[in-house]
Amino acid sequence: MAQITITLPDGAQRMYEAGITGGEVAADISKSLGKQAIACTLDGQFRDLSRPIENDAQLAIHTIKDEAEALELIRHDSAHIMARAVQEIWPDVKVTIGPVIANGWYYDFDREEPFTPEDLEAIEKKMRDIITLRDPVRTETWERARAIAHYEAANEPFKVELIDAIPEGEDLRMYWHGDWQDLCRGPHLAHTGQVPADAFKLTRVSGAYWRGDSKNKQLQRIYGVAFRTRQELKAHLLQVEEAAKRDHRRLAKEMDLFHLQEEAPGMVFWHPNGWSIYRGLEEYMRRRQIEDGYKEIRTPQVVDRKLWEASGHWDKYRENMFITEIDEEHANEKRTNALKPMNCPCHVQVYNQGLKSYRDLPLRLAEFGSCHRYEASGAMHGLMRVRGFVQDDGHIFCTQEQIQEECAKFIQLLSRVYKDLGFDEFKIKFSTRPDQRIGTDAEWDVTEGALESAIKSIGMDYEVDPGEGAFYGPKLDFKLTDAIGREWQCGTFQVDSQLPERLGAEYVGEDSDKHRPFMLHRAVLGSFERFIGILIENYAGKLPFWLAPRQVVVASIVSDADDFVNATVEMLRKQGIRAEADTRNEKINYKVREHSLGKVPVILAVGRQEVENGTVSMRRLGEKQSVVLPREDVLATLSNEALAPDQVAR
C-alpha cells in the first residue's frame, strides 16, 4: 500500500496508507474528534468523511462548531431524512429534489393527497426516529445506465428525468442511510444522529411546479428550518415573529393607513393617515426632481388601443392590461381603450407636440402617473404588489452623448433620495444585452458603454447580470437594503431607442437634419404604494417625524387643561405640524398607551402644572421618560424637526 501525507490546517503532517478516509483520520487524531467530525474539506473540496483519500492532500476536519459547514450539512441531511420519513410513511410518494435554502431546506414530493398539518407532525416524529437510529451515511459512484435502471425499477420518474439532465461524463453519486437511497451531489453528515433532533421544524407546505415551470406538474413542497441548537431555532422563530410584527398590512390597520376590499382587488383605499404619508413622499419627490431639472406633466389614464398597438404594448403586454369598451349607446363609434399600464407612450406624445431642437435636450419629463396592471390574483400582496399604483416615473429624451451624464445625475438623485428616506445601502445590477433584442451590436456597445462608464465614474460597485437587459436596451436596477436586511428592487434606469422609433420622436440637430432621440426610462421609488409598504416595514411603523401621519398628540391630564391643549394644537397646526388634541375623559396612561401603539412620535401631556407654567410634558415614541419644557421651545424644536430632509438648511 502506498503511503500518503495528510497536511492539517495547523501545518501538522501525518502519514497514512492510501485509501484511508477522512473519518478515520479524524478518529486517529483524537477519539473525540472522531466522534464530533461531520465532514471534511480535502484540497478545498467539501467532502464526506467516508470517502477514501488516495493522494497527498490538505485536509480540514469539520465539526458542528464550523457554523457554515455544519448548517449546510444539517439542512441538507434534514432534507434527505425528511424525504426518507415521507417514503417510510407513504411508500408510493415520489421524490424529486430537496435543496438547502436560507435557514433551512425544502423538498418537493409528488403525492395525490395534500399533506396536512397533522401529516407534518407525523413526518417530524418519524424524522426524529430516523435521527435516533444514527444510521451511517454511505455513498457510491454509479454508472449513468445503472442509476437510470435503478430509478425506473423503483418507479421514480422524476429522478430519471434529473439524471437525464446531468451532463454526460459527470459522476453520479448515490447516498444511503438505512435502506433509503437518494441521488445527490453530497456531501453528507457521517450518520443521521448528527442532525440535532430538537433544532429543526417543518414550517409549511405549499405547491411548487416541477422544475419551476408552470406548464409542468405541480408538486407538494414541504419547507423546514434547521439549526445547530434548540436555542438557535428558538431565536430564529422569534425573529420570524418580529418580522411579522412589521408587516405593513398589520401596521396599516393599527395606524389606520389604508384598506383594500374585494370590490377593487389590488387597488388601495387610502385613509387620511396613509394619504398623509403618500403626500409627504410625493411632495418631497416633486421638490427633489424639480431641483434636478425635471418638468412635471400629467397624461391620460384611459387611452385608445391605437396608441398601445403603436407602442407594442397591445402585442406584448395585453394580458396585463385593463381593457375598456365604451357603451355603444353613448358613443357614435365603438372604441376600445386601455387603462395605461405604463406612462412611456404618453410621454412620447407630449414630447412630440411641437418641433424639438437639440437645444431642448436633455428634456426630462416626470409624472406621478397612475397606472393599472392586471396582476395575477395570487401575485397581489398588500401594498407591495397591487393592480392600481402610481409611479414616480420619468423619461429623459436625450442624445447618445448625453446618456452618460444623465445616468450619473440619476444615480446621484437616487442615492440622495434613498439616504433621505433612511436607506443608506443599495446595490446596483447592470443588465446587458439579451439574446432576444433589437438594434445593432454597435448601438448596444454605445448604450452599454455609456451606462457602465457612468456607474464607474460615480465609483460605485455593481453586479453585471449578462443577458438580463430589456429587449430595447440595457438597464440598471437598484436594490435597497432595509433595516432587517431584506432587499427590495425599487429604482430602475433603462436606455431605450425602440419607443422613440415606433412613436416617431425626433429632434432637429445642429446639422438641421432630423434625428431620433434616445429615451431613458427611470424611477427612483418604483411605485408609491410599494415604497410606502417598504417604508412602513423598514421603520416598523415608527416613521421619521416629517413623514409621520400624526406627528403630535396633545393630551390633557385633567379636563381643566383642555383649553390649553386646544390652544397648543392650534399653534402647532399654524406651524404646519400635524397635531391632534386628546381631551377625552381618560387617564393619561390610557392615552399614552393608545398613541404609542398608534406610533405617534411625540405626545405632549398637559396637566395643571403645565397650564400654570406655560409648559408641556414631552414624551417621544420609544422613550420611557418625559421632559417638561416651555411650550415655545417645544414649538420651535418640533417645527424644525417637521422639515423634510431636502428642506433642512445645511
Partner RNA sequence: GCUGCCGUGGCUCAGGGGUAGAGCACUCCAUUGGUAAUGGAGAGGUCGUGAGUUCAAAUCUCACCGGCAGCACCA
Binding site residues, RNA, CB under 7 A = 114, 116, 204-209, 212-214, 218, 220-221, 249, 253, 260, 262, 265-266, 313, 316-317, 320, 341-342, 375-382, 385, 469-472, 556-560, 585-590, 592-593, 596-597, 603, 605, 607-610, 617, 619, 621-622, 624, 626, 628
Nearer to RNA, 116 or 457 (CB): 116
**40 catalytic per annotation:** no
Phi-psi region of 559 (alpha: psi -120 to 50; beta: other; left: phi over 0): alpha
Q: How far is the CB of 248 from RNA (least distance, A)?
A: 10
Which H/E stretch holds residue 181?
Answer: strand 180-183
344 a known binding residue? yes
Candidates 47, 173, 313, 475; catalytic one: 475
Q: Are strands 13-17 and 3-7 parallel, antiparallel or unpaired?
A: antiparallel
**313 catalytic per annotation:** no
The DSSP-derived string for 379-425 is G-BTTTB-SEEEEEEEEEEE-GGGHHHHHHHHHHHHHHHHHHTT---
- For the beta sheet containing 3-7, the strands, ordered from the edge strand earlier in sequence to the opposite edge, are 13-17, 3-7, 57-62, 39-42, 45-47
Q: How far is the CB of 592 from RNA (least distance, A)?
A: 4
Candidates 392, 393, 477, 582; catalytic one: 393
Q: How far is the CB of 333 from RNA (least distance, A)?
A: 27
- Cβ atoms of 182 and 174 within 8 Å: the answer is yes
Whole-angstrom distance, CA of residue 650 vs CA of residue 636: 18
Cell of 480: 435597497
Candidates 521, 522, 591, 599; catalytic one: 521
Nearer to RNA, 176 or 210 (CB): 210
φ, ψ (nearest 5 deg) of residue 606: -130, 120
Q: How far is the CB of 361 from RNA (least distance, A)?
A: 23
- Cβ atoms of 382 and 527 within 8 Å: the answer is no
**344 catalytic per annotation:** yes
Q: Quick check: helix, strand or coil at residue 86?
A: helix
Whole-angstrom distance, CA of residue 68 vs CA of residue 48: 15
Nearer to RNA, 2 or 264 (CB): 264
Candidates 51, 248, 344, 578; catalytic one: 344
**66 catalytic per annotation:** no
Which residues have C-beta within 8 Å of that of residue 463, sequence separation ≥ 6?
427, 428, 429, 430
**31 catalytic per annotation:** no
Nearer to RNA, 266 or 549 (CB): 266
Whole-angstrom distance, CA of residue 516 vs CA of residue 508: 9
**What is the number of alpha carbons within 13 Å of residue 241 lying toward its C-beta?**
6
- Cβ atoms of 641 and 545 within 8 Å: the answer is yes
Q: How far is the CB of 328 from RNA (least distance, A)?
A: 26
Candidates 188, 248, 372, 373; catalytic one: 373
- Cβ atoms of 131 and 80 within 8 Å: the answer is no
**521 catalytic per annotation:** yes
Q: How far is the CB of 628 from RNA (least distance, A)?
A: 6
Q: How far is the CB of 136 from RNA (least distance, A)?
A: 33
Whole-angstrom distance, CA of residue 368 vs CA of residue 285: 10
- Cβ atoms of 62 and 218 within 8 Å: the answer is no
Nearer to RNA, 174 or 267 (CB): 267
- Cβ atoms of 487 and 427 within 8 Å: the answer is yes
Candidates 87, 181, 391, 402; catalytic one: 391
Nearer to RNA, 180 or 410 (CB): 410
Nearer to RNA, 110 or 360 (CB): 110
φ, ψ (nearest 5 deg) of residue 520: -105, 120
259 a known binding residue? no
Nearer to RNA, 238 or 590 (CB): 590
Q: How far is the CB of 203 from RNA (least distance, A)?
A: 8
**475 catalytic per annotation:** yes
Instruction: Name the binding residues.
Output: 344, 395, 521
Instruction: Name the binding residues for Zn(2+).
Output: 344, 395, 521
Catalytic residue annotation: 344, 373, 391, 393, 395, 475, 521
